């Protein structure tokens, strides 16, 4: 019988022979740009002609589920069932990508033709998300090739609208609750903490966008003749914002602040150093005092002014502007209820003398916050398996700083959610020159092969 070590060695040989590269090359060629009109046929083809047949080769039965939201791309559900007593993993991937923006890529690169340059594999979707789900599909294939069975049940859910805010995902999870039932959710998207640091994240911060507007009168008025006589909406709005968040980024509105950080979250974050070498330096004196940088971004809320406009910023004139608007965003952690945010803002503004400031929710849908306890048995199990493969424990983030539709899996399906990202912070996801690192993909393939091997070998759990 082949051993775990044999399976990992075979996976790496398979990688070194160019097979994963070939799979991802084929998938990158599908122009699944869900934000563009006319992308529906390609989104469907990606599922029916590429993902479905690839999973069928591994013994999965699959079906296409139409999106309940008109005009949004379909879903694919697949299942390989080996036994009722075995654990079941639900996996997830998204087949859509952001627009290619072909003309903006470096000379010689195309978003739709995978190009290898040193350790980099360039192409739209290599990092987000085709490369990542390709690694996970391949790892299942490696365990099957080595052992003949997974010794666990695996389900897949693919969507094709993640880059447009996952329309219909929640409804499909509600309707297909039984079909998607599992013991654990394991998926790959987003970046590792750093390229060389295997990482788990267990949820994501929520995101709530809102607009503040001060609209005082019809038009502008000469600032010499009227300055001192009539109120300035820009001044009022700036002060209203200052009542919500201070000059160091500390949130002043109690209802927008999270509950105390749980001890298990503090422990998980104790060794985490956020930021990246190519990124901006982390400001030491920014944000909630007394927190480490990791706690500030992963365990606390942040209130950001994303845009502010009064008068004509490009061509200022000597006039008191009639109107000021700002667009703000609250990133929030578990324990905050977004349904109460608007009311809390209204009450806060009124209490602080800003009745003239109108507040309304932004057009972007609110993302809810999720977080699995970093000491949950499934987290320990996945972390132990990765440590056995790589020789070092992975970094564990209780949640990502950014946002994901993880509430569909954590709240609607009620699953412990463990994300194992195979990308890295400088992957240019959503930008020209998107790429994945071959070294990270190779290690990711080994990690996932080892993980599926271990879950099957020890179905009862650690
Ligand atoms: Zn994306």
- Which residue, chain included where needed, has tokens 């789900």? 133
pLDDT tens track for 264-319: 999 999 999 888 777 789 999 999 999 999 999 999 999 999 999 999 999 999 99
Peptide bond into 129 cis (omega under 30): yes
Distance in Å, CA 252 to ligand 1 centroid: 32
Note the pLDDT of residue 461: 45
Distance in Å, CA 362 to ligand 1 centroid: 20
Distance in Å, CA 57 to ligand 1 centroid: 27
Distance in Å, CA 386 to ligand 1 centroid: 25
Distance in Å, CA 165 to ligand 1 centroid: 10
Distance in Å, CA 89 to ligand 1 centroid: 23
Distance in Å, CA 128 to ligand 1 centroid: 5
CB 23 within 8 A of CB 138: yes
What is the average per-residue pLDDT within 432-439? 96
In the chain the first and final C-alpha atoms are separated, in Å, by 22
The alpha carbon of 394 is separated from its chain's Cα centroid by a whole number of angstroms, namely 18
Distance in Å, CA 81 to ligand 1 centroid: 30
Distance in Å, CA 242 to ligand 1 centroid: 32
What is the average per-residue pLDDT within 403-409? 90
Distance in Å, CA 98 to ligand 1 centroid: 7
| pLDDT at position 142 over 90 | yes
How far apart CA 271 and CA 257 sit, in angstroms, is 24
Among the listed residues 322, 252, 293, 299, the one whose alpha carbon sits nearest the alpha carbon of residue 397: 299
Token pair for 303: 């209130």
Distance in Å, CA 420 to ligand 1 centroid: 15
CB 405 within 8 A of CB 172: no
Q: How many residues make up the chain in this entry? A: 462
Distance in Å, CA 303 to ligand 1 centroid: 22
Q: What is the pTM of this model?
A: 0.89
Looking at residue 411, the DSSP 8-state letter turns out to be I
Note the pLDDT of residue 197: 94
pLDDT band at 458 (very low <50, low <70, confident <90, very high): low
Distance in Å, CA 40 to ligand 1 centroid: 18
Distance in Å, CA 82 to ligand 1 centroid: 33
Residue 203: partners with Cβ closer than 8 Å, 6 or more residues away: 334, 369, 370, 371, 372, 398, 399, 400, 406, 410, 417
What is the average per-residue pLDDT within 37-45? 97
How far apart CA 142 and CA 150 sit, in angstroms, is 10
b (16+ CB within 10 A) / e for 75-105? bbbbbbebeeebbbbbbbbbbbbbebeeeeb
């Amino acid at each position: 019988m082949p051993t775990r070590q044999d399976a990992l060695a075979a996976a790496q040989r398979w990688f070194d022979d160019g097979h994963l590269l070939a799979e991802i090359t084929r998938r990158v060629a599908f122009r699944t740009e869900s934000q563009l009109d006319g992308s529906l046929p390609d989104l469907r083809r990606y599922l029916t002609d590429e993902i479905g047949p690839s999973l069928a080769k591994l013994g999965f039965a699959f079906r296409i589920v139409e999106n309940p939201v008109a005009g949004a791309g379909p879903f694919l559900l697949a299942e390989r069932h080996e036994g009722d007593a075995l654990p079941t993993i639900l996996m997830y991937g998204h087949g859509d990508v952001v627009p290619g923006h072909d003309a903006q890529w470096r000379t010689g690169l195309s978003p739709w033709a995978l190009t290898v340059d040193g350790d980099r594999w360039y192409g739209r979707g290599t990092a987000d998300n085709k490369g990542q789900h390709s690694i996970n599909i391949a790892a299942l294939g490696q365990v099957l090739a080595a052992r003949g069975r997974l010794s666990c049940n695996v389900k897949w859910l693919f969507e094709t609208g993640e880059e447009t805010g996952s329309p219909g995902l929640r409804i499909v999870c509600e309707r297909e609750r039984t079909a998607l039932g599992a013991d654990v959710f394991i998926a790959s998207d987003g970046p590792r903490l750093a390229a060389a640091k295997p990482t788990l994240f267990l949820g994501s911060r929520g995101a709530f966008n809102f607009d503040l507007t001060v609209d005082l009168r019809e038009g502008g008025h000469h600032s010499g003749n009227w300055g001192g006589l009539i109120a300035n909406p820009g001044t009022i709005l700036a002060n209203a914002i200052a009542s919500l968040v201070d000059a160091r980024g500390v949130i002043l509105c109690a209802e927008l602040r999270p509950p105390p950080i749980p001890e298990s979250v503090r422990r998980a974050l104790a060794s985490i150093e956020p930021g990246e070498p190519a990124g901006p330096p982390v400001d030491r004196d920014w944000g909630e005092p007394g927190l480490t940088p990791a706690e500030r971004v992963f365990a606390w809320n942040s209130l950001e002014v994303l845009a502010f406009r009064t008068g004509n910023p490009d061509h200022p004139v000597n006039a008191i502007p009639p109107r000021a608007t700002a667009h703000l965003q609250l990133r929030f952690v578990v324990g905050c209820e977004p349904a109460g945010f608007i009311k809390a803002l209204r009450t806060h503004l009124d209490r602080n003398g800003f009745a003239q400031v109108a507040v309304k929710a932004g057009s972007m849908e609110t993302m809810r916050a999720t977080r699995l306890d970093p000491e949950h048995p499934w987290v320990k199990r996945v972390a132990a398996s990765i440590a056995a493969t790589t020789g070092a424990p992975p970094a564990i983030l209780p949640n990502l700083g950014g946002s994901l539709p993880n509430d569909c899996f954590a709240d609607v399906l009620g699953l412990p959610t463990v994300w194992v990202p195979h990308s890295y912070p400088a992957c240019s996801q959503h930008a020209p020159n998107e790429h994945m690192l071959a070294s990270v993909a190779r290690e990711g393939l080994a990690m996932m092969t080892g993980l599926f091997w271990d879950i099957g070998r020890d179905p009862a759990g650690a």
